[in-house]
Structure 1
Amino acid sequence: MTHRLDTAADGGRRPTSWTREQAERIERTADNVAPIIYPPAEDAFPELHIWDTWLLRTRDGSIADLDGWRVLVSLTAPADLLPGKRHDVAALRYFYSRDGQEWNRGGRVFEEGAAFGSRQWAGSALYDDGELYFFYTASGRRDEGELTYEQRLAVGHGGTVETSDDGVDVGGSFDHEILLTADGEFYETEDQSRGMIYTFRDPWFFEDPQTGKTHLLFEGNAPVSEGSDACGGDAAQQEFNGCIGIATSESGDPTDWELRPPLVEGTCVNQELERPHVVVHDDRYYLFTPSHEHTFAPGLHGFDGLYGFVADSLDGEYEPLNGSGLVVANPGNAPFQAYSWLAFGHREEILVHSFFNYYDLGGRSLDDVADLPPEEQQRRFGGSFAPTLRLGVDGDRTWIRGTLAHGHVPTEDEELEEPFEPRRDRRSGGY
């Protein structure tokens, strides 16, 4: 059952709006365009498609240290499946590394058929005093005859984790719970949906260092009824109603949540504000979300990229980074080369992990990929970890300041070389 805190109980907070005026400023610049990605010299996991990835973290957001090992969790599918079908069979798998550069393949996080949903989509992972919590999106229903797109926020907790000189083994049985479903008031239900894509997914655990409160961020849609005056009454724009949702655990229990009003609403701007997550940097709250070019409302021109907002507290009010919200964009000649960016702190900087998506498309759109021969669809899909980006941050301005190797997640004591950066006027973001 979904519990909900009303707005009054939430201190009267209202969601921050990402406005069309702000989104109209989106453009590629020298500061936000990522370098071209080339395939790694060797595919470490040729038997798998790998995409959305997240880190096993502790309550304070640090990367969990398991006797010198760190762990990534990814959505995976067999590599012999056409890439466009991978979401239909997605399963969580873990990877482990000592140096954050050479990753080893672990097994599936959950036994086949044990988790909710006919497949599992993105989430987050918590290691708390020896306890494992794997948050995920339960997509569809277990054993359904035809795939549906119902989405619920779920967790598998319990299990065991064992370490040795040879690696990490996650096993045992997990207790699975549905944590939250859309309530129809703060967050649109599937029956209410008018848009091209319905969303209630991507649970992201976050404990606020400022208040000590425990939260779960997620992607949703803000209800907009037919006949509403939102977007000036433009029904076509109203269908683009993505939002960044939040739930709170008053007790701190990672299995007990109450819905709160969204942090950010993108009504009239964008349908999907995916995998929202927060990095606290210089005592400010940086709220990041990846999104696609095709999910922007009519009249707006965004890119497959990482978008972000900044505030002095988790509740906001948020300002879009760089005036428009755009933080990282794929280059114009490789517009789909990476996706599902995840920002995380390392010492005094912010790093950004993603996966290597479609490349060498020769100007084709993603819709055109399905018309290619199967072997060409496979060849043009990376399906592996992308190079890690280094992000410069100064207040409400960001810029790409360098890159690391594919899948590089530096260890806590790893010193990174100072990258070359052109001199910039931090006030304008220009040169």
Structure 2
Amino acid sequence: MNLESDDLLLDRDVHDTPAWTRAHAAGIERSDENVAPIIYPPDAPLDPDLHVWDTWFLRRRDGSVAEIDGYRVIFALSSSSALLPGKRHDVATIRYFYSRDGREWTTGGPVFEGSEPLGSRQWAGSALYDDGEVFAYYTASGRRGEAELTYTQRIALGRGGSVETDGDGLRIVGPWEHSVLLEPDGERYETEAQSRGMTYTFRDPWFFEDDGRTYLLFEANTPVPEDSAACGGDAAQREFNGSVGIAESPTGDPAAFELRPPLLDAVCVNQELERPHLIVRDGTYYLFVSSHDHTFAPGLDGYDALYGFAADSLRGDYEPLNGSGLVLTNPWNAPFQAYSWLADDHGDEALVTAFFNYFDFDRPSLDDVAHLPESEQLRRFGGTLAPTVRLRLDGRRTRVVGTLDHGHLPLPDEELPEPWWEPGEDVPVREYLTPPEADAGDGLLDVAETDG
């Protein structure tokens, strides 16, 4: 464990877990290396009838994107575009979309059509295409039939689906069999009853194989006793206890997993390490998570951003990329324009997908969205695929080197245009990197004036 002080000594049996420390996170700062350009609305959304967010490819066991009769497939969380964006998580449904070129996507429909997935709604996961069968890993949030929404979370699997293609396109069909794969144990991973923090997390399963062994990564929280000395005894900081969990299939069966100690802890630093995933390149394991500005512990300032860590092995000592962990974030004057980033390996680069979140909105908190008239809440929400960001990985350093169009998701063998920046060149001047020194508040939306 990377110990900065006795604050990080926890009363549990995983003292050797690598840690994202407060000293690391104190160095988070926007720069020309980590800020994405301003996003403008596309000519047309992925589907005008849907809010679409949290996207992932259908993949094979080796992590490559599954190509089926020339089609690639993505899964995504979705809801009706008539719904207020802040309510979409309460009714989230997983849909699939398919494309021949990674640019034009066709809506295929709900993945689990004709079956009853677990939970009152389904949140993000991953998808495996193995020997003709679809294994759809997802977060079962709440319980089917509940009278009021709850936030119980279990890692679930829908299996038995298959893919059909013909001249009219592609279909994913059942029958589906649903089961709970993993629940928190209360020792390595916090249960809902143990939770004292702002949110509770046990979600976002991500299938991964390494050296012939089969794993699921997931987002979780680390149990921290109320009388723990963690965080120097600061009870408020102790409530921020995010972790990246991992489970292993002892036999390689993609439907049977056992919990293992976490890969990374963020106790005293951050509450939510969302959608964890890995890229392995030249013996380096790059672990990525998304997180929000408001989920950092008191005394730390972060952003809605993609954060990353690197180690020399899957169970290695993960170090924050770029010193602080910050890899990719939004401009200061569009701080919530994109979220839920997922990095894919593409030769010398990583291609980072996300969804187009709230644009034309530069208040310091997303809570202020609720003060806007409903028409403005809908107008300012993108609800579609964001531009793909090109990221250079160089050891423990990263740099944004370009972007692609909204929803352009190329495969590794597809050529990319020249990046906007190459090593040795002067960094392009981008005026949205830092706020004006004279008055950082200029131009901010006056929420009170627009509140009907």
Secondary structure, counterpart of 1:17 in structure 2: coil
- 1:371 is displaced (CA, Å) by 1.3
Question: When the two structures are aligned, how many residues end up with a matched partner?
Answer: 413
Is contact 2:335-2:362 (8 Å) kept? no
Give the distance between the partners of 2:422 and 2:64, measured in 1 at CA: 31
Give the distance between the partners of 1:12 and 1:183, measured in 2 at CA: 14
Is contact 2:159-2:176 (8 Å) kept? yes
Give the distance between the partners of 1:182 and 1:39, measured in 2 at CA: 40
TM score, norm. by length of structure 1? 0.94
Residues 98-120 of structure 1: per-residue CA shift (max 9 Å, x gap): 00011110010012661000000
Give the distance between the partners of 2:233 and 2:46, measured in 1 at CA: 51
Residues 364-416 of structure 1: per-residue CA shift (max 9 Å, x gap): 62111111111110000000000001100110000000000111111343211
Give the distance between the partners of 1:413 and 1:345, measured in 2 at CA: 11
Is contact 1:14-1:261 (8 Å) kept? no
Is contact 1:13-1:315 (8 Å) kept? no
Residue 152 (structure 2) aligns with: 150
Structure 1 outlier segments of 4+, above 2 Å: 11-14, 362-365, 422-425
Is contact 1:113-1:142 (8 Å) kept? no
> Kindly, what percent of the aligned residue pairs are identical?
64
The answer to whether 1:44 aligns with 2:46 is: yes
Give the distance between the partners of 2:370 and 2:129, measured in 1 at CA: 39
Residues 152-209 of structure 1: per-residue CA shift (max 9 Å, x gap): 000000022101233210012111010000000000000000100000000000001x
Residue 285 (structure 2) aligns with: 285
Residue 132 (structure 2) aligns with: 130
Give the distance between the partners of 1:22 and 1:232, measured in 2 at CA: 17
- Matching residue's letter, 1:175: E
Secondary structure, counterpart of 1:21 in structure 2: helix
Residue 413 (structure 1) aligns with: 413
The answer to whether 1:399 aligns with 2:396 is: no
Residue 141 (structure 2) aligns with: 139
The answer to whether 1:97 aligns with 2:67 is: no
Give the distance between the partners of 1:65 and 1:348, measured in 2 at CA: 22
Residue 376 (structure 1) aligns with: 376
Structure 2 unaligned regions, length at least 5? 1-12, 426-452
Secondary structure, counterpart of 1:86 in structure 2: helix
Is contact 1:202-1:276 (8 Å) kept? yes
Is contact 2:305-2:339 (8 Å) kept? yes
Structure 1 residues 19 and 299: alpha-carbon distance in aligned structure 2, compared to 1, 3 A threshold: same
Secondary structure, counterpart of 1:324 in structure 2: coil
Residue 30 (structure 2) aligns with: 28
The answer to whether 1:307 aligns with 2:307 is: yes
Secondary structure, counterpart of 1:323 in structure 2: coil
Residues 181-239 of structure 1: per-residue CA shift (max 9 Å, x gap): 0000000000000100000000000001xx21100000000000101000011000000
Alignment of 1:328-339 (within 5 A): 328-339=328-339
Give the distance between the partners of 1:170 and 1:371, measured in 2 at CA: 40
Secondary structure, counterpart of 1:303 in structure 2: coil
- 1:12 is displaced (CA, Å) by 8.3
- Matching residue's letter, 2:127: A
Residue 252 (structure 1) aligns with: 252
Give the distance between the partners of 2:272 and 2:319, measured in 1 at CA: 18
Q: Judge which range, 139-148 or 341-350, deviates more.
A: 341-350
- 1:362 is displaced (CA, Å) by 4.1
Give the distance between the partners of 1:112 and 1:19, measured in 2 at CA: 46
Q: Judge which range, 185-194 or 110-119, deviates more.
A: 110-119
